A and B are shown apart, each in its own frame.
Chain A
Amino acid sequence: MRVPESARRSSGSSSSDGPSQLLTREIVDFTRSASRQYHRAHTSARDVFVDVYSNALALGVVLMIAVSFVLTLRDELAGRSLGDTDLVAARWQVVPADVVWLVLTCLALVGIMSLARRLGPVTVTRAEGAWWLPLPIGRGRMVLPAFRRRLMASGGIAFLAYVPFSVLTSPDRSPTVHASSALVFGVGAVLAVAGAAILQLRPSASPTPRTWIVLGLVPVALLPFLTATAWPLVLVLITAAVLLAQVIPRVGDVPGVELQRGGAVSGHAAASIFFVDTNELRRALTSPPRHSASRRGRRYYARPTHSAVAALVRADVVAFLRLQPLPIAALTWWGICLGLALLTPALPVVVVLGVVLVAGCSVSAGTGTVARRIAVVAELDTLLPISPFLVRCSRILMPALAMVLWMGALVAVLVGLGAGPASLVLLGVIAGPGMGAGAVRAATRPPTDWSTPPVETPFGPVPQGQAASLLSGTDITVVAMIPILLALYLGAVHPWLLIAQVIASAVAVLVQASAR
């Protein structure tokens, strides 16, 4: 075998004088143009037309449904006044609606920042990480185009999402003011993403910079409510320009490891969305398991047990204590439910109960973290010398306990605010095991069968059984919550509601414990 002369000549020293942005641009352009050529050669005009047509149709249907829903809700809100039926007693009207809207806007901006930080926001794909990052050239131009697209996308999505929020919360505003508020919020979302990029520059630094960025987003959350004049928009635009002028020249300084981490998370999340797999999406967006084992529950775990079932229960309890992330989302949803309930008469009771239902489903899904991880290695359960029914019951135990605490605490506070008699708390507590069973059912649902032909829907082709698969878990959580929601709506606990709640939770637990 003959060794290449050119490579032999170049061994030991580089012919490059140093990092060159021009060379980086050449490399990026080369990769992109080669990829474009490949895709053009492998994609027909018909494929492009079908993609554009089906996506435009799906988008149109979604927009029409959303606009119709928002306008109906706006009319409903406009017709409401003090004295209408509310979830809690009117004397507890302690939180002004504007304060709650401000808190929600602030939480949304912090949420955007946290999500952007998890996803990057400055990233490279796996292939770019393997082939671009080792090159001795500046990285700024490698990562800037994708970062710019993310800034634009987050600003655009935030703008679109804020319009209905503005219409519902301030129905007396003109369309121009709604648009202006949404624009301010959109630019605020860009600021949040830029803030996340700043955190990437020193990924292992103390939490102080993150705290400062969160504090900086608080006044930004106030600006969409002050759009009677143009100055909030001007102010947020100037702030964004100054911040981006600081961030953009430094994106090339983000450490390579951090670029690849963000790229891996983004790729994982995008693939999960593509496959409509919410369990996988949650895995992608939650922190990876800690390498060093937590010592939580060590003494409890070390105690001798007298049966295999007791050992299994103990193992599941300790796994939950060690692996379950901090209940930040659960507490946030808890606060949102209470905030909305206190807003008499801002929202109809049905809407507030709808939010409680969404919150319950979301928090319930969050308690399935351990079950989701275990579901990846389902074979382990089959190795245990215990009946599968008992194994599944053991899996339900801790999520059920967590939901008992969450639901009990929520209903207790609502009862304290005048939502109904103290016996409502009992219903909330009984709903907990059913919701816990829903969490485990959602975490362990079988993956969609992609081999069957897809079904055409207004939202585009969907694989058969996907809807059923997606609803698996949420279905029994909703069933377990119906009696308590009904009792909250009526403001009373009838004996038949108590019986219904016991049956609903028992059915939910039995359905999950008997599942194959």
Chain B
Amino acid sequence: MAAVGEALEADRLLVGYAGRPVCGEVSFRMMPGEVLAVVGFNGAGKSTVARTVAGRQEPLAGELRVLGLPVMPDSAGFRRQVAVLFDEDVFFPSLTIREHLLLVARGHSLGSPEEAVDAELGFFGLEDKAGVVPDVVSSGQRRRLLLAAAFIRPSSLLILDEPEQRLDPVMREGLAERIRQRADAGTAVVLVTHDPRLLVQAATACLVIDEVVEQVDTERGAQFIAGS
């Protein structure tokens, strides 16, 4: 049973597809404000762990609790608390970048959605692309839009699956800073990454998914990525 105040608890969690686990049992606990980096080789099961925590797929076994409650992806409460970013380039073909962000801001009842959108557009360098549809911007700019959508909304748990993909080095620096500040405000962040620099800058702990799943400090996690 998760103690009150834990943002996320996985106890002997087994994840996989069609009844077949993709990695060993995963156990960890996260408090609000912590950033847990999840690292491993390609195909090790990092994204499957993230998808399971986000409620995108059922765990094969074990216990998983978000804010002390079971994962219920279809409940409004769960969706209000948990923000996710996966590698899914899907957009409304006729909504502009600004309108996509406004949709998220309004859907989460932000007090001043227009201001929040302007701020995110500024942070992610999308002001001059605000009035165009996502299909006509670069792949990296679409990635920025997805990040802006994940950060514009409030959340108690933020799950980022390789957020550094397709970002330039300057934006990666900004992303690390942004993750830290979100964590400082009390959000727990699960960060699946292949970027040792981002890991060291943003994470407070690291989960290595290899033959044995183990929790290590961020330095060892960065060494693992560099070694892999």
Contacts and interface: CB of A to CB of B under 8 A. Distances in A.
Given A12-B156, A12-B187, A136-B76, A30 B106 contact: yes
Contacts of B90: 126-127, 129-131
B116 interface: yes
Contacts of B106: 23, 26-27, 30
Question: Which of B32, B95, B100, B104 has the most CB atoms of chain A within a 10 A radius of its CB?
Answer: B95
Question: Which of B83, B91, B108, B181 has the most CB atoms of chain A within a 10 A radius of its CB?
Answer: B108
Contact of A7 (B102, B109, B116): B116
A256 interface: yes
Interface residues of A, number: 46
Contact of A291 (B18, B112, B174): B18
A137 interface: yes
Contact of B108 (A1, A8, A131, A135): A135
Nearest to A254: B74
A427 to B, nearest CB: 45
Question: Which of A30, A39, A134 has the most CB atoms of chain B within a 10 A radius of its CB?
Answer: A134
A7 B173 CA distance: 19
Contact of A31 (B73, B79, B92, B110): B92
A81 to B, nearest CB: 60
Interface string B101-119: 0111011111110011001
A153 to B, nearest CB: 22
A11 B187 contact: yes
B5 interface: no
B18 A292 contact: yes
Contacts of B81: 14
Contact of A135 (B100, B104, B152, B155): B104
A256 B72 CA distance: 11
B58 to A, nearest CB: 9
Given A10-B154, A31-B95, A136 B178 contact: no
Contact of A6 (B116, B174, B186): B116
A131 B155 contact: no
B123 A2 contact: yes
B94 interface: yes
Interface string A42-80: 000000000000000000000000000000000000000
Interface string A3-45: 1111110111111101100010011001100110011000000
Given A8-B185, A34-B92, A290-B18, 12 more contacts: A1-B123, A1-B174, A4-B116, A6-B119, A7-B151, A27-B106, A31-B92, A131-B149, A134-B79, A135-B104, A136-B79, A256-B74
Contacts of A133: 79
Given A7-B152, A11-B187, A31-B95, A135 B107 contact: yes
Contacts of B194: none
A11 B79 contact: no
B133 A38 contact: yes
Nearest to A133: B79
Interface string B75-89: 011011101100010
B29 to A, nearest CB: 18
A35 B92 contact: yes
Contacts of A291: 17-18
Contacts of A8: 181, 185
Contact of A127 (B92, B111, B187): B92
A463 interface: no
Contact of A38 (B18, B95, B102): B95
A290 B18 CA distance: 9
B70 interface: no
Nearest to B112: A6
Nearest to B118: A4
B19 interface: yes
14 contacts: A4-B119, A8-B185, A10-B116, A14-B80, A16-B108, A26-B106, A27-B107, A30-B99, A127-B90, A131-B149, A134-B79, A134-B84, A136-B108, A291-B18
Nearest to B125: A1
Nearest to B124: A1
Nearest to A253: B74
B153 to A, nearest CB: 8
Interface in A325-343: none
Contacts of B186: 11-12
A138 interface: yes
A137 B107 contact: yes
B43 interface: no
Given A1-B174, A2-B123, A15 B116 contact: no
Given A10-B110, A15-B110, A136-B77, A3 B18 contact: no
A136 B74 CA distance: 9
Contacts of B161: none
A38 B94 contact: yes
A249 interface: no
A131 B103 contact: yes
B177 interface: yes
B122 interface: yes
A416 interface: no
A38 B93 CA distance: 9
B94 A35 contact: yes
Contact of A1 (B76, B104, B112, B178): B178
Nearest to B93: A127
Contacts of A135: 79, 104, 107-108
A132 B106 CA distance: 11
B46 interface: no
Pairs A-B, 3 closest by C-beta atoms: A4-B119, A135-B107, A291-B18
Nearest to A18: B76
A245 B93 CA distance: 34
B32 A23 contact: no
Contacts of A26: 106
A11 B123 contact: no
Interface in A143-182: none
